[in-house]
Amino acid sequence: MSDHDHDHDHDHDHGEHDHEHGDHDHEQDERAEHRARRRLALSHIRQYGDPVLRMRANEVEVFDEELEHLTERMTGLMHDADGVGLAATQVGILRRLFVFSDGEEDYVVVNPVVTVRGRETETDEEGCLSLGPVRMPVERALEVTLEALDVHGAPLRLELEGMPARVVQHEFDHLDGTLIIDRTDPESRREAMAQLRPRLVLSR
């Protein structure tokens, strides 16, 4: 029953109406809480113009409890910010690690190396948690193989295709100080910079 139909049902039960109204209020509260969590998460993620986003991260040499806490925090921030990947440089940590989700499982990737990059590529829209609402087309390999370590220092090999492959290439770029504005076409870059420059001035 649509809201329009509901308006013309004069014989509806008041208890049912109150229940539906309560559900509506609950949904609104959940949406408001979600928006608040996202704003809070984004406040912890470095934004365009921060010099750390242009720095090359260093190899991780120590696998300890502090590293576990860092990756847990990054995974939480990623989800709260509605992201699918987050690099350590995006939280101001110059270490070669990132977290990502394939929609079913979360991964921690430490000291990654792309060992195979497929020849077939695809151009698709990408966004970045460090670039606000700005999106732009980026060409990526459809398939990649990544060799890395997990959070405990154990060997990790990932053979990825489609969206997960795109995500890890995006996060891998972050570890070398490369952003999607460096990967897009000139016209899209100009359009993106037109949006980013005012944000840059306001953040100073």
* Active-site residue flag, 147: no
Q: For residues 153 and 40, which has the higher predicted lDDT (pLDDT)? A: 153
Structure confidence at residue 4 (pLDDT):
44
The model's pTM: 0.83
Report the pLDDT averaged over residues 188-203.
Answer: 79
Give the CA dihedral 166, 52, 35, 190, nearest 10 degrees.
Answer: -60
User: How do residues 48-100 score in pLDDT, each as one tens digit?
Assistant: 999 999 999 999 999 999 999 999 999 999 999 999 999 999 999 999 999 99
- 48 within 8 A of 91, measured Cβ to Cβ: no
Query: For the chain, what percentages of helix, strand and coil (3-state, to nearest 5) are there?
Result: 45, 25, 30
Active-site residue, from 20, 66, 122, 171:
171
